[in-house]
Every structure is written in structure tokens, then in C-alpha cells.
Amino acid sequence: MDEATAPRLPSPCEATMDDLVVSFMTKLQDYRCEITPVCRAYYKLHEALFRARIDVRGDWNCVDIGAAPGGWTQVLSQRLAADANSSGGIVWAIDPAEVTLEPMPTCVKHLRVLAEEAVDTVREGLKITPSSELRIVVCDANMHPEACMRIAVDFSTKFSSTEESWLIFSTKNFCNRRENWLRVVEDVRRGVLDAGYDEVFIKHLFSNCTEEKTLFARRAASK
């Protein structure tokens, strides 16, 4: 099953409980049998892009912060490679640890540094791409949601785009008590809005564990 035939949810306000629990999950399980992900995290970003209807095209430039072992990088690189109409996009996989994609996709550049040390390299790399703009930053690092927000937002806001751009990151419960975690997740949502994103929303994906939610932030195309 390729990306074009992978399961999609109905339009907003049209999905029924049957769509969400039976039809969608059955199709998703079938889809999982057709692919070989480098790790379980693959399914989170795969589902996230479908749920938010983010059409990652072949000329998109992407950054995956805390990329190892490479599940989210794998999703992004597959989306770039699947687009027959455009090409030239790059996925910068940022992590000092090893990214275990074999073979390494030609569109992936592994930067074995911390996120703050990768800004200049990405900025220079963008200059030689067709669009020269960064369209999506993702992060699935195992850390406190506030720390994840600081790293991801600090990186993403160093880059501007004339097109719509996205930030997606996981908000995991490193807060001990569930009520503390939920409060922190809401604080993080407001923090991302304050950083200049036009729309921020949080979803509990089917692929998320019990105490993990995924944050989506969108910046509209500049006029």
C-alpha cells in the first residue's frame, strides 16, 4: 500500500465513531502490515500528517529534532520520495546519536549535533534547495514538554517562510502526576501561540501512548 492509498479520515464534523474506531483503525492496521518502520514512533508522525492533512511534497525542506533512531525521519523521507511531481527537498535529521536507516535515503542529511548547533548548517543548506525555505519542523524527543517546546520553537522561529509551515512535537508525561502534565500541555500550547504561530492544536493520536499527546502548530503563508 503506497501513501496515496493509505487510510484517511473523513472531513471534519463528518466522522462517526465507526469511522474513528472501526473503519480507520482497521485500515491503519492493514497499512502497518505493509511497511517496515525503523521504530514504533514512525506510526505517530505518519498518522499525525494524515490527521492534520499536511501534504508533504517532494520539494519540502524538513527538520527532525532528536531524530534517532529515525522513525520520523523515515516518514518524511518517504513523503519526499513519493512525490513524482517535484523533488529536491531535504530532511535534516538532527541528533548526536545514530540514525539507523539502512540504506540512508539520499534526501536525508544526518547532523550529529544538538539542535542549537545545527541552525547555521540548515540555513546554508536551504540556499541550494529549489524552495530555499523550511516547511516543517518535528520533534519526538523523550523530554519534558516545556523543554521540547523550547528547543523546537527556538529552532523553528529562526526560519521564516513565504509558504505555510508547520511545527509538530510530542508532549510526553515527564510531570509525574497526570493533572500536572495536562496543565503543562496547555501551558505549552499557549507558549507556542505566543511564539507567533497562527493556529495551535493538540490531539491524542491512536498511535500515542496513554500519557502522550501530539502538538500541531501552523504558520500561515506570508502575504
Distances (CA, A) of 141 to 61, 94, 118, 202, 221: 20, 11, 16, 17, 27
Please check whether residue 167 lies inside any domain of the structure.
Answer: yes
pTM summary value: 0.86
Please, what is the average pLDDT of the chain?
A: 90
Task: State how many domains the chain has.
Answer: 1
User: Given CA atoms 72, 206, 166, 212 in this order, what sign does their dihedral have?
Assistant: negative
SS3 content of the chain, % helix, strand, coil (to 5): 40, 20, 45
Residue 177, domain member (yes or no) = yes
The dihedral through the CA atoms of 209, 101, 7, 12 has a sign that is positive
Residue 7 domain flag: no
Which amino acid type is present at position 165?
A: S
For residue 179, being part of any structural domain is answered with: yes
pLDDT of residue 36: 81
Query: Which residues on adjacent β-strands are paired with residue 216?
Result: 168, 201
Report the DSSP beta bridge partners of residue 111.
Answer: 94
**End-to-end Cα distance, the chain:** 38
Cell of 140: 519526538
| Residue 8 within any structural domain of the chain | no
- Residues of the domain holding 203: 14-219
Can you give the pLDDT at residue 1? 40
Q: Contact 116/41 with Cβ under 8 angstroms?
A: no
Contact of 154 with 116, CB cutoff 8 Å = yes
pLDDT at 2 over 60: no
Residues 156-211 pLDDT 10s:
999 999 999 999 999 999 998 999 999 999 999 999 999 999 999 999 999 999 99
pLDDT score of 148 more than 50:
yes
- Is residue 162 included in any domain, yes or no? yes
CATH number at residue 204: 3.40.50.150
In a domain, 46, yes or no: yes
Which residue's entry shows cell 471534519?
A: 12
d(CA 110, CA 92): 6
- What distance in Å separates the CA atoms of residue 111 and residue 63, rounded to the nearest whole number? 10
Please report whether residue 214 resides in a domain: yes
